[in-house]
Structures are given as C-alpha cells and as structure tokens.
Amino acid sequence: MASKKPVNRPSVRHPSHNHPLRVFKAQNEDEIICSGCELDLTGQAFKCTKDCDYFLHKLCFDLPCEINHKSHPDHPITLFYSPPYDHQSYECDACGEYGSGFTYNCSVCKYDVHVGCAFIPETVDREDHKHPLTLLYKIPCEDGKIYVCDVCEEEVSENLWTYYCKECDYGTHVHSCALDEDYEGEEEENRESSSAASRMKSLMKAQDEMAAMKLESRMKKAANNAIIYSIR
C-alpha cells in the first residue's frame, strides 16, 4: 500500500514570530487566544508551522506598522509586537486594562494603546439613550473632579477614554458599558468578556475599512493607468 505524501501547505512570514505561519481556520469551540490582540481567535487566521502555540488573526497579521491617532496628536504611534518594557506588559492608556501582546506605542511619551482600542468608533449608539455618544480621549471633567460611568456607576480614571453625550452629561466606559444596555449587575468575568468582544468588533471594522481603502486605491490606480493608455 502506497504511503500518502505529506501536504505542502504554503507558508508566510510575519515579523512578530521567528517561524513561518500557515493559514488556519479557527472555530469558536477551539478556545484559542490570538498572540497579537490577546482576544479569542475566530475566522481566518494564521498558526505557526512548528506548532509552538503562536496564532494570529488575519486582521492582526495585516495591522499597519504605524498610525497617526487623534488621541496622541504630537507623535505617530508605532506597532510593537511585544511590550517595550522590562516587565513585558503595559497598561492601555485608552481603557486602563493590561496587555502583554501587540501594542501601539509612542516611545517618547510611554503611551500605549491596545490594537483593538486604537480602532474603536468615534460615535456609538445605545438603545437606552436618545443621542449618540462621542468618543473623548479624556474624561469630560475639570481637574480634580471625579467622573463616574453612568452605566456601571464606577469611577473612570482621569486620563482614560470615554464615550460622552454633552447635551445630557451622560458618559460611559469605552467598551462594554458603552454598548451593553444590560451591563448593570453583570459579574466581573462577563464584563471582561464584553470588553474583549468590543475590542474584537473594533478590529474587525478596522479590517473592513482598510480593505475598502486598498480597493479604492487599486481602482484609482487602474483608472489612472487607463487614462495614460488612452492618451498614448
């Protein structure tokens, strides 16, 4: 009986990892964590060909190496594949949660943002509030005053981002509180899950926007080439 030949699957390289990666279709029941954003791995992804437990969402694989962000206008923030600190972790300056995977970082200011937080929308809607909430990059209070989330009724640190309705003086944390009308009374574990889901949703939206921009760029390039060809 002839033995089966091993399947040669194409591999790709990513600067975050020493080994080649191959395409991998992640299922919800796999319970795998992305090595980049540290959120649940679902959908199209990549895994290490050497089986060293390294996985990346496709959207984390495709993240831009540097972005200009409104929250930090003085300097661009650069994608780091691990925290640039001796203790190998960082505190996100957007949501206040810790991370040990990818981060957008300003080395001058020691400013860090989760890759999921970097792409959250500038406005969100809540079913229980009649106005859209606008993203602010610091709490809407004068110095020294305490700001409390109107959903969970917990204090929001002074320099963290928040969603806010100026007309009603109504504000929330940037993740689960901003989107989940049933947040009040949730257990801490469920709150963390909602926050992670919010960051994942932001990343997926960013991927769609980047894909649309690439398509638009290709279409413009094709149109320009067509014009040049017609002139000739």
pLDDT along the chain (232 residues), means of 10: 57 94 86 91 90 90 94 96 93 93 96 93 88 92 82 88 92 77 47 52 56 46 46 50
Q: How many domains does the chain have?
A: 3
- pLDDT computed for residue 200 by the predictor: 57
- Report if residue 77 sits inside a domain: yes
Whole-number pLDDT of residue 8? 60
Q: Are residues 43 and 126 in the same domain?
A: no
Q: What is the pLDDT of residue 146?
A: 86
Residues 126 and 84 in one domain: no
Residue 4 lies in a domain: no
pLDDT for residue 207: 54
pLDDT value at residue 27:
82
Quote the CA–CA distance of 71 and 118 in Å, as a whole number. 9
Residue 1 covered by a domain: no
Instruction: Provide the pLDDT for residue 75.
Output: 97
Question: Domain of 170?
Answer: 120-179+200-227
95 with 67, same domain: the answer is yes
Does one domain contain both 25 and 107?
A: no
* Same-domain pairing of 111 and 127: no
Beta strands in 69-207 (DSSP E): 77-80, 90-91, 98-99, 103-106, 111-114, 123-124, 133-136, 147-148, 155-156, 162-165, 170-172
Handedness of CA 146, 149, 155, 157 (dihedral sign): negative
pLDDT at site 227: 44
107/126 same-domain check: no
